[in-house]
Structure 1
């Protein structure tokens, strides 16, 4: 199996029962700022200041007491094609890879661990770190299917 070159834990996506209440709580008590609100997806992307987002919150009324972590994201150290090779190695090993997407600011591969937790391994698109917050605001919260074999590196 191809071992991924993971750089860091990048962000966590959390389901919440009330988006406004939770967003305000994270901003007030953790000092986060709202990078983008996505009303059509009932979500908010929050940052501690350096990243385009550290935590994303999505409203899901059944979240209270239910499964509340949507996914945990790891930043990949490589190219989109190398991420595609990693994706294929997961599939070859029988891992449940359930989607591969273009987020506008990155490409991500989503899969589940043996306990059913969802993980995303993603590679950033080529853009200066200083422009990531603006890029997130510009592209919004997109998640379009993508074939990593056809992406230019």
Structure 2
């Protein structure tokens, strides 16, 4: 199966995007950054390629590039190690100019979402490891008695 994931996202302003994600604590792999693209490192094998809108268009010349501020085509969900980490990333995103989305708290699972400066929706979520191992429904049953 697959070893890595590269998510490609159109952005309006590369430097503004770099500033936004850097302020949240993320880094970039500058070997793969240039005037058209930024390589945003989200994890050991998770990369978001932030592509200048006109450059992104060259990959899909027969399609219109969606404006993520008005049209949703993807929800990008990233795991967190704790509930506190979810809140820390959310707070950093909002402080950097993101628009806060919804928050969900199911006890064993907690997450919140935000829209970045280009309107892409990111969700940061934590799930109790015990719920991951047995599945959410079984975990809830075990907790109820």
Q: TM-score, normalised by structure 1?
A: 0.40
Higher relative contact order (CA 8 A, sep 6+): 1
Q: TM-score, normalised by structure 2?
A: 0.42
